[in-house]
A and B are shown apart, each in its own frame.
Chain A
Amino acid sequence: MNEQVKIDIDRAERTEKLQGMGCKRKRVEDVRFTQGKGSYVDDLKLPGMLFGDFVRSPHAHARIVSIDTSRAKALPGVVAVLTAADLKPLGLHYMPTLAGDVQAVLADEKVLFQNQEVAFVIAEDRYIASDATELVEVVYEALPCIVDPFKAMLPDAPILREDIKDKMVGAHGPRKHPNHIFEWQIGDKQATDDVFARADVTIKEMLVDHRTHPSPLETCQSVASFDKVKGELTLWGTFQAPHVIRTVVSLISGLPEHKIHVIAPDIGGGFGNKVGAYAGYVCSVVGSIVLGVPVKWVEDRMENLSTTSFARDYHMTTELAATKDGKILGMRVHVLADHGAFDACADPSKWPAGFMNICTGSYDIPVAHLVVDGVYTNKASGGVAYRCSFRVTEAVFAIERAIEVLAQKLGMDAAELRMKNFIRAEQFPYHSALGWEYDSGDYHMAMQKAMDAIGYKALRAEQAEKREAFKRGETRELMGIGISFFTEIVGAGPAKNCDILGIAMFDSAEIRIHPTGSVIARMGTKSQGQGHETTYAQIIATELGIPADDIMIEEGNTDTAPYGLGTYGSRSTPVAGAATAVAARKIKAKAQMIAAHMLEVHEGDLEWDIDRFRVKGLPEKFKTMKEIAWSAYNAPPPNLEPGLEAVNYYEPPNMTYPFGAYFCVMDIDVDTGVAKTRRFYALDDCGTRINPMIIEGQVHGGLTEAFACAMGQEIRYDDMGNVMGASFMDFFLPTAVETPKWETDFTVTPSPHHPIGAKGVGESPHVGGVPCFSNAVNDAYAFLGAGHIQMPHDAWRLWQVGERLGLHG
């Protein structure tokens, strides 16, 4: 074996040992999760712990005439029953929302949605608490309710929020009606209107991204334990952003922030549902402060689906203007946003409609104008980013459906129309008409790769044949080809435009190397299943040359982790992942000084080699990071402090813009409306890939949730404001049986501004998947003149389309 081969093998072996970036490292957290050894909030058992349960409103809109808690209090085992009257003196009957509104903790005078919290029973066990909720007697006087957001601002609409009815300027500017929350405008209205007035071709479609729910398997829950002697509060909870919760609790309760210990243990999925603050958290805290013992609150499934943050409910009038040969000239969108009873959206403060202004998508659209009106209705509040960056799913749905509507009007192939309008690779960094700076991309290459992989031309030919066969009565199946080319905007975000309650949206990492060369690192983010313990360790492994297995990642304890804004909006890798790399590089710089001292050479004479610094030209003279770590503590160079650790708070210079090309082939049984996904191909470009296996898992999960949303999942209300189907019997959570098989693929376009070039991927498949499914369904019926078909595409709704088109004989 020659010398070079030996060196190559040695380097390959050392690289593999690290299990660093780019390798399919197995998820370390799965060892406990797959054995049922995870530790969730509800696993917590503290001495003397009491249990809380809510009395909830059966009405969507009603005045509370009286509340009688005497029978409940008389039940043996009941310790306390809280109502708004108890919270009022503490100023806690309302709490601030992340969107600048307030939200009732316990209903004061009025209830505004069905299942709203009215009283909180605290008892010795959860059975007694539940029994006692039935003994609280509440007299209601029902009021007319608003379920349809289009009726919210009618002149004679009942006023929902009497608490703010005279406050005609909200957190985001003037309100046009007592049921109006905000109007948000962006873009050049005049220029856009001018383009539409002149354009050869325009389309206009009402696209509804219906109300649904993130529905994590673990519901929202908390345990509060107040130590009266120390005056300290420990709060365990299902928090995607534990530090923000600590700050909010401090601001609401008046307890100094250092006396509040917020701990998010293992979390069983979040998807945006666990970003906000809920009445249950507040009531468990109040209960514990009042009673001096721990109080646990655990939501059940119906409570989760019907009360804690919903997603979507965007009614988007979407218009495109184009030349007759298919060059898009302008986009105009008006959104009516149904926020429910309180504005509890979890968006960065300056963005009342999130990043809806990414709605020009992947296309070079010269001008655009977007208006969003938020309104109150008698529904649960929320409007969270369900597995997406803030409102990006809605934005991508709007453009990706609209472009198909335009293609049909132009008589052009939908893939060709996209190709014609894509932002070109050389245009990056690209400034969009609605104000974003896209960091990097090569859309044409990704699209072409996807089209080749799926066999696009052959599929269109097959579809043409099947359409003819359908017309001849030889088949009762319709074939649809769905396309979606999405651009995400994730990694919130730069301090200049991203903050939550005034806290800039940086994130953080603290890395500490022990004398023996193993590592503990803590981040301000919080995994809910994303695999942070695995992937952050891979970043550090590559940066510092320490095996990932020797690196422990810890998140969720606000006493030990550096302050961070948490995990949502695919921000962990773009922000905390960047902080991790930067902190590691600080350590590496110090390590180089130590190595130089150890090797008695100048720092500049050293070069990095996988897991060591070696002397340039003398590869046999080296010090491994492990050796350097020992020296750092025990024999540091003169004038250098001992130790080897670093912290970085990373404020991203820009967002990152992952993108992807998705294709779906669907066969629909016209007689039942049942749609079967024959193929689904997903090409994702998330920049540098840290762990391909975790990426694949994220894509599978995101696509499955996209499939659910597009094909049946919804939170529906009847005319009386009764929430329908808030259980897993009706709420569509696909099982392995219903879930299509996913084909995944990728291109790599690193982010130019991110230390390791990574962009984030957890939410891309959801964002891109929803319109892809919907486009497949719409494409199936398009040749029959169906027009736009609204989601969700469950069987009965598709059967109704067939009925409308006279397809059932």
Chain B
Amino acid sequence: MIPGTFDYHRPTTVESAVALLMKLGEDARPLAGGHSLIPLMKTRLASPEHLVDLSAIEGLRRVEVEGNDVVIGAMTTQHSVITSTVLAELVPILRETALVIADPQIRYKGTIGGNCANGDPGNDMPALMQCLGASYQLTGADGNRLVPARDFYLGAYETALEPGEILTEIRIPVPPAGHGYGYEKLKRKVGDYATAAAAVVITMVSGTCTSASIGLTNVSETPLWAAEAAGILVGSTLDAATVDAAVAAAEAITNPASDMRGPSEYRTKMAGVMLRRALERARTRAIA
């Protein structure tokens, strides 16, 4: 539990952070809240020679409405997500999700950008971002580019980030007023990653589901956007047969590892149970 030797950098602008990462190459890692990276370093599963701490950069901690989007700076802490009145009003599922991440102490340090950028399949925010149709602003030497969360995750700890790039902003289209939502997470204890979790956002008109989006956490090497399952729900009254079919479709795309949380088949089934429960909660919340 003793990390190897590393140098520590604390740039104050995104430009200088990017320049540092470009210069230092593969031996450097950006550091946000540190809750994924530092445990890896302490067990020497990661041994970066340079840490580029992003916490001194002004402007990466913000929550603002821009047109139809909510924009969240990458260094916004989970605690700030929980306490933001703007987010509570416009995208309440963010708060619901952040509240089941780790514990209060960690949420004071852990950031939404780090949670999204790290590519750890256990993180909760990535599947939620896929569910919400969010995009990530990646800043590199050539400036900014926008990548949809649904295209960002390539494998466990593998993302669309190019060398030197930093995830600086998350852009979330505000779901329609009256939408129903739910994030259901099964975990063994406080602070644990999900055995399985599901994010659901739906809209209902006169008892009929008019749109649906589903994200699944920690049941594959990447977060999963369950497009087919969501498609099955649209146009239905969320009757039992339809929900069963959607759950089956969602379960079908999972591929969880067997670990101490349980064998693969259990975790797949739990993805289904979490989806069912998240959907039920979303239905009760949707203003039809």
Residues of A within 8 A of B (CB): 53, 126-127, 129-131, 134, 300-302, 671-674, 712, 716, 724-725, 729-730, 732, 734-735, 737-738, 794-796, 799-800, 808
Contact = CB atoms under 8 A, between A and B. Distances in A.
Interface in B164-198: 186, 188-193, 195
Contacts of B145: none
Contact of A126 (B2, B5, B186, B189): B2
Contact of B44 (A126, A134, A725): A134
B273 A795 contact: no
A705 to B, nearest CB: 15
Contacts of B273: 671-672
Contact of B262 (A127, A302, A737, A799): A799
Contact of B263 (A127, A302, A796): A796
B91 interface: no
B8 interface: no
Contacts of A737: 189-190
A62 B273 CA distance: 44
Contacts of B192: 729
Interface in B1-22: 1-2, 4-5
Given A130-B4, A302-B43, A735-B191, 16 more contacts: A53-B2, A129-B2, A130-B2, A131-B4, A300-B2, A301-B1, A671-B273, A674-B186, A712-B188, A729-B193, A730-B260, A732-B188, A735-B190, A738-B190, A795-B262, A808-B269
Contacts of B1: 300-302
B185 to A, nearest CB: 11
Contacts of B260: 716, 724-725, 730
Contacts of B4: 130-131
B217 to A, nearest CB: 15
10 contacts: A131-B4, A134-B44, A301-B1, A671-B273, A716-B260, A735-B103, A794-B188, A795-B186, A795-B262, A796-B195
Contacts of A130: 2, 4
Interface in B259-284: 260-263, 266, 269-270, 273
Instruction: List the 3 closest A-B pairs by CB distance, nearest first.
Output: A796-B262, A130-B2, A300-B1
Nearest to A669: B273
Contact of B270 (A672, A724, A725): A672
Contacts of A800: 266
A734 B262 contact: no
Given A735-B191, A737-B190, A131 B5 contact: yes
A673 B43 CA distance: 32
A290 to B, nearest CB: 23
Interface of B: 1-2, 4-5, 43-44, 103, 186, 188-193, 195, 260-263, 266, 269-270, 273
Contacts of B5: 127, 131
A218 to B, nearest CB: 14
From A134, A734, A799, residue with most partner B Cβ within 10 Å: A799
A799 B190 contact: no
Contacts of B270: 672, 799
Contacts of A673: 266
A349 B193 CA distance: 44
A674 B1 CA distance: 32
A808 B272 CA distance: 12
A734 B189 contact: yes
A65 to B, nearest CB: 24
Contacts of B189: 732, 734-735, 737-738
A795 B188 contact: yes
Nearest to A130: B2
A286 to B, nearest CB: 22
Nearest to A724: B260
Contacts of A724: 260
A671 B274 CA distance: 10
A796 B268 CA distance: 11
Contacts of A716: 260
B167 to A, nearest CB: 25
Nearest to A739: B189
Contacts of A131: 4-5
Nearest to A730: B260
Contacts of A672: 186, 270, 273
A794 B269 CA distance: 16
Given A302-B43, A674-B186, A725-B260, A796 B191 contact: no
Contacts of A738: 189-190
A121 to B, nearest CB: 12
A738 B189 CA distance: 7
Contact of B266 (A302, A729, A735, A796): A796
A709 to B, nearest CB: 14
B218 to A, nearest CB: 13
Nearest to A708: B189
A685 to B, nearest CB: 32
B181 to A, nearest CB: 21
A300 to B, nearest CB: 4
B155 to A, nearest CB: 21
A300 B44 CA distance: 13
Contacts of B186: 672, 674, 795
Nearest to A133: B2
Contacts of B262: 794-796, 799
From A134, A712, A729, A796, residue with most partner B Cβ within 10 Å: A796
Given A134-B44, A730-B260, A795 B2 contact: no
A800 B262 CA distance: 10
A800 to B, nearest CB: 7
A711 to B, nearest CB: 10
Contacts of B2: 53, 126-127, 129-130, 300
Contacts of A794: 188, 262
Contacts of A301: 1
Nearest to A712: B188
Nearest to A53: B2
Nearest to B267: A796
A708 to B, nearest CB: 10
A735 B105 CA distance: 14
Contacts of A725: 260
Nearest to B42: A300
Contacts of B263: 796
Nearest to B274: A672
A508 to B, nearest CB: 38
Contacts of B188: 712, 732, 794-795
Contacts of A734: 189
B194 to A, nearest CB: 12
Nearest to A671: B273
A799 B266 contact: yes
Nearest to A51: B2
Contacts of A300: 1-2
A91 B143 CA distance: 67
B261 A796 contact: yes
A126 B261 CA distance: 33
A220 to B, nearest CB: 14
B42 to A, nearest CB: 9
A671 B247 CA distance: 14
A136 to B, nearest CB: 14
Contacts of B190: 735, 737-738
A716 B261 CA distance: 13
A716 B259 CA distance: 11
Contacts of A134: 44
A146 B46 CA distance: 32
A795 B195 contact: yes
A735 B273 CA distance: 25
Contacts of B44: 134
Nearest to A219: B1
A212 to B, nearest CB: 13
Contacts of A127: 2, 5
Contacts of A126: 2
A164 B269 CA distance: 49
A730 B39 CA distance: 14
Nearest to A809: B244
A725 B259 CA distance: 9
